[in-house]
Structure 1
Amino acid sequence: MGTLFVVATPIGNLEDISPRSQAVLESAAVIYAEDTRRTRKLLTHLGIRNRPLSLHGDSADSAWRDAAAALADGDVAYVTDGGTPAVADPGARLVRLAHERGHPVRTVPGPSAVTAALAVAGLESGGHVFLGFLPPRRSRRMQLLESAIATNLPMVVFAGPHDLSELLAELADLLGPQAGVVVCHELTKLHESVVRTTLGQAPGLDVVSQGRGEKTLVLDPPQKPAAPPPESQLRLELAQLQDSGFSPSRAARELAARHRLPKDVIYRLVVDSDRN
């Protein structure tokens, strides 16, 4: 009976591969990869001739079943395009299938963009919330962010280059422009960039306005306001949000998250303003 090995691979610097990861990749009967081009580059660097097979989020259901069935013939290694599989990629699907079929599943730990970013963020908190890539739909994205903010823990978020400016603006609305954020880009690579700044200042960074590729954001724990603002201030901010094009319900959600107030308090202001 074959074993599924979930193998961490470098997120940028190929020298970060561990001896154990290399040994598993050399001995596996089959290697499945989220991105075969990147994996072939790694295997060539290591002198491994085993050719990776493609298995990613858009693969057909039959491809995932075939990968699980391959465990009947020997050990299988699964790698993502960089970092630890099954954290922010579809690898968890293969892990579940292996468990369901009674195959041993083993981890080969190593590089991770999440832990790498946390290590250089300078946070003293003992926990964090990892959100990965956020949903494309704004309503779902805001719901997820609001739930994470309610934990009072630091947050780690992945962002693509085309989503970053909009995401930073949304986070500034929710947490305030003075909230701290660490923007990580090209971690472990030649042009690695780690910048601690605020959500208000982040859009002006070169790495945000000009940088390509994915970013990892580490957000400081939300700061509770010393006291809720007066109702007159809430009404003013609510009106400003609506004047900027927000629907009443969306303005209420954003204002509640910004000041960390119960939503029903803000919705009452919306109802009162509609009556007036």
Structure 2
Amino acid sequence: MDIPRLNANLEPGLYIVATPIGNLSDLSPRASAILAGVALIACEDSRVTAKLLQHIGVKRPMMPYHDHNADRVRPGLIERMRSEAIALVSDAGTPLISDPGYKLVRDARAAGVTVTTIPGPCAAIAALTLAGLPSDRFLFMGFLPPKQKARADTIAEVAAVRATLIFYESGPRLAATLGALAEGLGDREAGVAREISKRFEECLTDSLSALAARYAEAPPKGEIVIVVAPPGEAPAPNADDADAALAEALTRLPPAKAAGEIARKFGLDRKELYARAMAMKDGD
């Protein structure tokens, strides 16, 4: 692979380099040049990064940077960035997405170190484009907690969010997670993307319950991206429910503030609610 030439010496600082999520040919020419020119590459797994460097025909010093050693090695990396160019890569995709890289960027900026991003592949965005679900608003949730209650609580927190939801998951946990999503969100349309950018790339779309049943029988290997459609249109607020909530709010708030609170909660007109609140007060 021909590597484009940049300046012979890169400026000192931190270079955030996105790497392929499957197909090594997705590494950009700029990313290749940066990796070839830095003094050191901070990586999750040097064995994985070594294969990428072999693909572009270069050898560079590497240092592991992951959850288990990040706090210990970060100060030394920051100090080296003052005089050397240091690259940060993940095993696949864009660094800082579900990994500890953000702390390195935060501390580098606090130390006055220049931070440069070299954008590229990201599994979450790639899956969103494959699934054919609404993409104008989306929320990336990373990996859900493994324990059942914590997972259910996290799903409940985003059940009302009017956006497409994106989750990472492993093959063995996929069916259980799809089932938990169906239970917590309702049986929404969803997509399961795997082997992204590889020869057997696929993205299957169906209801959450149907996908859970499919993968319960044949758990896939590797890491997966789950994309879940936003909730349907919310039902129009019930007038009796709004009145009951307004009456309760009036027990602790003056009419204007009570009307404002219920207007926000139910999406109703504040002036109409204020008039209703005054009528309730007059009727007391």
TM bin, normalised by shorter chain, reads: 0.7 to 0.9
1:169-200 per-residue CA deviation (whole Å, 9 max, x = no partner) reads 111112223x1110001100112111111111
Q: Aligned partner of 1:222: which letter?
A: P
Q: Residue 8 of structure 1 aligns with which residue?
A: 18
| CA root-mean-square deviation | 2.1
Structure 1 residue 221 and structure 2 residue 238: aligned? no
Q: Does the CA contact (< 8 Å) of 1:9 and 1:84 recur in 2?
A: yes
**1:200 partner SS:** helix
User: After TM superposition, what 4+ stretches of structure 1 lie above 6 angstroms from structure 2?
Assistant: none
Question: What displacement does 1:203 show?
Answer: 2.3
Provide the residue aligned with 1:205 in structure 2. Answer: 214
> C-alpha displacement at 1:36, in angstroms?
1.3
Aligned partner (choices 68, 84, 88) of residue 74 of structure 1: 84
Q: Residues 208 and 69 from structure 1, CA distance in 2 versus in 1: closer, same or farther, beyond 3 angstroms?
A: farther
Matching residue within 79, 84, 103 for 2:94: 84
Query: What is the deviation of 1:146?
Result: 1.9
TM-score between both structures, scaled by the size of structure 1 = 0.77
Task: Give the total of aligned pairs.
Answer: 228
Cα shift readout 1:129-164 (whole Å, capped 9, x = no counterpart): 100111233333223222222221110000112321
Q: 1:60 to 1:218 in 2, by over 3 A?
A: closer
Q: Give the 5 Å matches for 1:1-276.
A: 2-59=12-69, 61-177=71-187, 179-205=188-214, 209-224=218-233, 226=235
Paired with 1:212 and 1:199, the residues of 2 have a C-alpha distance of 19
Contact 1:164 1:208 in 2 (8 A): no
CA distance in structure 2 between the aligned counterparts of 1:98 and 1:132, rounded to whole angstroms: 24
* TM-score computed with the length of structure 2 as normaliser: 0.75
Does the CA contact (< 8 Å) of 1:203 and 1:209 recur in 2? no
Once residues 160 and 201 of structure 1 are traced to their aligned partners in structure 2, the CA distance between those partners, rounded to angstroms, is 18
Report which of the two structures shows the higher radius of gyration computed on alpha carbons.
2
Structure 2, unpaired ranges of 5+: 1-10, 238-284
1:54-80 CA distance string (max 9 Å, x none)? 111111522122222221231110000
Determine the structure 1 residue equivalent to 2:244.
none
Distance 2:147 2:28 in 1: 38
Shift of the 60–105 alpha-carbon distance from structure 1 to 2, 3 Å rule, reads closer
In the TM superposition, residue 124 of structure 1 has moved relative to its aligned partner by 3.1
